Amino acid sequence: MSDERVEQAVRVGLGERGYDVVVGDGILGGIGGAAREVGLRGRCALISDERVAGLYGDEVEGSLRAAGYEVVRVEVPEGEASKSLGQVEACCGAMARGGLDRGSFVLALGGGVVGDLAGLVAAVYYRGVPYVQVPTTVVAQVDSSVGGKTGVNLGEGKNLVGAFHQPRLVWADVATLATLGEREYREGFAEVIKHAAIRDAAMLDGLGARVAERGGAGMVELMARNVAIKARVVEEDERETAGVRALLNFGHTAGHGIEAAGGYGRFLHGEAISLGLVVAVRLSVQVAGLAEGEAARVLGALEEFGLPMVLPEDVEIAAVLEAMGRDKKFEGGQVRFVLLRALGDAFVSEDVTVEMVGEVLSP
Amino acid sequence: MSDERVEQAVRVGLGERGYDVVVGDGILGGIGGAAREVGLRGRCALISDERVAGLYGDEVEGSLRAAGYEVVRVEVPEGEASKSLGQVEACCGAMARGGLDRGSFVLALGGGVVGDLAGLVAAVYYRGVPYVQVPTTVVAQVDSSVGGKTGVNLGEGKNLVGAFHQPRLVWADVATLATLGEREYREGFAEVIKHAAIRDAAMLDGLGARVAERGGAGMVELMARNVAIKARVVEEDERETAGVRALLNFGHTAGHGIEAAGGYGRFLHGEAISLGLVVAVRLSVQVAGLAEGEAARVLGALEEFGLPMVLPEDVEIAAVLEAMGRDKKFEGGQVRFVLLRALGDAFVSEDVTVEMVGEVLSP
For B256-290, write each residue's pLDDT tens digit: 899 989 886 789 989 999 999 999 999 999 999 99
Which residues in B lie closer than 8 A to residue A333 (C-beta atoms)?
A: 99, 101
A243 CB near a chain B CB, below 8 Å? Answer: no
pLDDT of residue A260: 86
> At A204, is the pLDDT very low, low, confident or very high (cuts 50, 70, 90)?
very high
User: Under 8 Å CB-to-CB from A107, ≥6 apart: which residues?
Assistant: A31, A35, A44, A45, A46, A47, A60, A64, A118, A131, A132, A134
Which residues in A lie closer than 8 A to residue B328 (C-beta atoms)?
A: 101-102, 126
> At A275, is the pLDDT very low, low, confident or very high (cuts 50, 70, 90)?
very high
- The residue in chain B having the minimum alpha-carbon distance to the alpha carbon of residue A128 is B163
Cα of first residue to Cα of last residue in chain A, in angstroms, is 49
Tell me how far apart the alpha carbons of residues A278 and A276 are, in angstroms, rounded to a whole number: 5
Which residues in A lie closer than 8 A to residue B326 (C-beta atoms)?
A: 96
- Is the distance from CB of B259 to CB of B158 less than 8 angstroms? yes
B156 CB near a chain A CB, below 8 Å? Answer: yes
- The residue in chain B having the minimum alpha-carbon distance to the alpha carbon of residue A165 is B127
pLDDT in tens, A24-40: 999 999 999 999 999 99
Tell me how far apart the alpha carbons of residues A360 and A341 are, in angstroms, rounded to a whole number: 18
Strands A345-349 and A169-173: unpaired
pLDDT in tens, A80-130: 899 999 999 999 999 999 999 999 999 999 999 999 999 999 999 999 999
Which residues in B lie closer than 8 A to residue A328 (C-beta atoms)?
A: 101-102, 126
Q: What percent of chain A has pLDDT over 70?
A: 96
Tell me how far apart the alpha carbons of residues B61 and B91 are, in angstroms, rounded to a whole number: 17
Torsion of CA A109, A258, A230, A130, to 10 degrees: -40
Q: What's CA B291's distance to the chain center, in Å?
A: 28
Number of C-beta neighbours around residue A323 at 10 A: 20
pLDDT of residue A325: 75
Mean pLDDT of chain B: 93
B172 CB near a chain A CB, below 8 Å? Answer: no
Cα separations in angstroms, A245 against A149, A250, A329, A346: 11, 10, 12, 11
| CB within 8 Å: B97 and A156 | yes
- Is the distance from CB of A335 to CB of A353 less than 8 angstroms? yes
- Give buried/exposed letters for A180-193 (b at 16+ CB in 10 A, else e): beeebbbbbbbbbb
| CB within 8 Å: A99 and B332 | no
pLDDT of residue A172: 98
> At A3, is the pLDDT very low, low, confident or very high (cuts 50, 70, 90)?
very low
Tell me how far apart the alpha carbons of residues A80 and A49 are, in angstroms, rounded to a whole number: 11
| CB within 8 Å: A333 and B101 | yes
Q: What is the pTM of this model?
A: 0.92
Which residues in B lie closer than 8 A to residue A86 (C-beta atoms)?
A: 85, 89
pLDDT in tens, A137-183: 999 999 999 999 999 999 888 899 999 999 999 999 999 999 999 99
Q: Of B269, B120, B255, B247, give the one whose Cα is nearest residue B195.
A: B247
Tell me how far apart the alpha carbons of residues A102 and A253 are, in angstroms, rounded to a whole number: 37
Tell me how far apart the alpha carbons of residues A22 and A13 are, in angstroms, rounded to a whole number: 14
pLDDT of residue B241: 85
Q: What's CA A77's distance to the chain center, in Å?
A: 18
Give chain A's radius of gyration (CA, Å). Answer: 20
Q: How far is the alpha carbon of A178 from chain B, nearest alpha carbon, in Å?
A: 33
B85 CB near a chain A CB, below 8 Å? Answer: yes
- The residue in chain B having the minimum alpha-carbon distance to the alpha carbon of residue A240 is B127
pLDDT in tens, B171-220: 999 999 999 999 999 999 999 999 999 999 999 999 998 988 888 899 99
Residues with pLDDT less than 50, chain B: 1-5
A99 CB near a chain B CB, below 8 Å? Answer: yes
User: Under 8 Å CB-to-CB from A73, ≥6 apart: which residues?
Assistant: A46, A48, A53, A57, A61
List B150's β-bridge partners, or say none.
B163
Test mutation, B16, B70, B89, B331, chain A, max A CBs within 10 A: B89
Tell me how far apart the alpha carbons of residues B237 and B167 are, in angstroms, rounded to a whole number: 16
Q: Which of B93, B123, B157 faces A155 most closely, judged by CB atoms?
A: B93
Tell me how far apart the alpha carbons of residues A35 and A171 are, in angstroms, rounded to a whole number: 10
Angle A14-A16-A22 from CA coordinates, rounded to 5°: 60
Which residues in A lie closer than 8 A to residue B162 (C-beta atoms)?
A: 124, 126-127
| CB within 8 Å: A89 and B154 | yes
Q: How far is the alpha carbon of A42 from chain B, nearest alpha carbon, in Å?
A: 7
pLDDT in tens, A219-250: 999 999 999 999 999 999 999 887 888 999 99
Q: What's CA B261's distance to the chain center, in Å?
A: 20
pLDDT of residue A109: 98
Q: Which of B154, B163, B239 faces A93 most closely, judged by CB atoms?
A: B154
B164 CB near a chain A CB, below 8 Å? Answer: yes
Selected residues 317-346 of chain B with any CB under 8 Å from a CB in chain A: 326, 328, 330-333
Query: What's the rounded mean pLDDT across residues A287-300?
Result: 97
SS3 track for chain B: CCCCCCEEEEEECCHHHCEEEEEECCCHHHHHHHHHHCCCCCCEEEEEEHHHHHHHHHHHHHHHHHCCCCEEEEEECCCHHHCCHHHHHHHHHHHHHCCCCCCCEEEEEECHHHHHHHHHHHHHECCCCCEEEEECCHHHHHHHCCCCEEEEEECCEEEEEEEECCCCEEEEEHHHHHHCCHHHHHHCHHHHHHHHHHHCHHHHCCHHHHHCCCCHHHHHHHHHHHHHHHHHHHHHCCCCCCCCHHHHHCCHHHHHHHHHHCCCCCCCHHHHHHHHHHHHHHHHHHHHCCCHHHHHHHHHHHHHCCCCCCCCCCCCHHHHHHHHHCCCCCECCECCEEEEEECCEEEEECCCCHHHHHHHHCC
ipTM of the complex, rounded to two decimals:
0.91
Tell me how far apart the alpha carbons of residues A192 and A206 are, in angstroms, rounded to a whole number: 13
Tell me how far apart the alpha carbons of residues A269 and A143 are, in angstroms, rounded to a whole number: 12
| CB within 8 Å: A151 and B127 | yes
SS3 track for chain A: CCCCCCEEEEEECCHHHCEEEEEECCCHHHHHHHHHHCCCCCCEEEEEEHHHHHHHHHHHHHHHHHCCCCEEEEEECCCHHHCCHHHHHHHHHHHHHCCCCCCCEEEEEECHHHHHHHHHHHHHECCCCCEEEEECCHHHHHHHCCCCEEEEEECCEEEEEEEECCCCEEEEEHHHHHHCCHHHHHHCHHHHHHHHHHHCHHHHCCHHHHHCCCCHHHHHHHHHHHHHHHHHHHHHCCCCCCCCHHHHHCCHHHHHHHHHHCCCCCCCHHHHHHHHHHHHHHHHHHHHCCCHHHHHHHHHHHHHCCCCCCCCCCCCHHHHHHHHHCCCCCECCECCEEEEEECCEEEEECCCCHHHHHHHHCC
| CB within 8 Å: A96 and B157 | yes
B128 CB near a chain A CB, below 8 Å? Answer: yes
pLDDT in tens, B326-340: 765 555 555 789 999
B86 CB near a chain A CB, below 8 Å? Answer: yes
Number of C-beta neighbours around residue A278 at 10 A: 24
| CB within 8 Å: A92 and B154 | yes
Q: Which of A93, A157, A328 faces B155 most closely, judged by CB atoms?
A: A93
Q: Of A4, A8, A77, give the one whose Cα is nearest residue A47.
A: A77
| CB within 8 Å: A332 and B126 | no
Selected residues 39-68 of chain B with any CB under 8 Å from a CB in chain A: 42
Tell me how far apart the alpha carbons of residues A42 and A36 are, in angstroms, rounded to a whole number: 10
- Is the distance from CB of B297 to CB of B343 less than 8 angstroms? yes
Which residues in B lie closer than 8 A to residue A157 (C-beta atoms)?
A: 96
Selected residues 249-288 of chain A with any CB under 8 Å from a CB in chain B: none
User: Under 8 Å CB-to-CB from B199, ≥6 apart: which residues?
Assistant: B229, B232, B233, B344, B346
pLDDT of residue B2: 42
| CB within 8 Å: A96 and B160 | yes
Q: How far is the alpha carbon of A216 from chain B, nearest alpha carbon, in Å?
A: 36
Tell me how far apart the alpha carbons of residues B262 and B32 are, in angstroms, rounded to a whole number: 40
Identify the burial level of B242 via C-beta atoms within 10 angstroms of its C-beta, where 0-12 means exposed, 13-18 middle and 19 or more buried: exposed
- Is the distance from CB of A106 to CB of A125 less than 8 angstroms? yes
> At A43, is the pLDDT very low, low, confident or very high (cuts 50, 70, 90)?
very high
Which residues in B lie closer than 8 A to residue A153 (C-beta atoms)?
A: none
pLDDT of residue B158: 84
- The residue in chain B having the minimum alpha-carbon distance to the alpha carbon of residue A327 is B101
B97 CB near a chain A CB, below 8 Å? Answer: yes
Q: Of B14, B30, B10, B20, give the one whose Cα is nearest residue B224.
A: B10
| CB within 8 Å: A333 and B160 | no
- The residue in chain B having the minimum alpha-carbon distance to the alpha carbon of residue A99 is B326
What's the one-letter identity of residue A46? Answer: L
Test mutation, A17, A101, A331, A334, chain B, max B CBs within 10 A: A101
Q: A126-130, A287-291, A323-327, B269-273 — which is least confidently predicted?
A: A323-327
- Is the distance from CB of A168 to CB of A19 less than 8 angstroms? yes
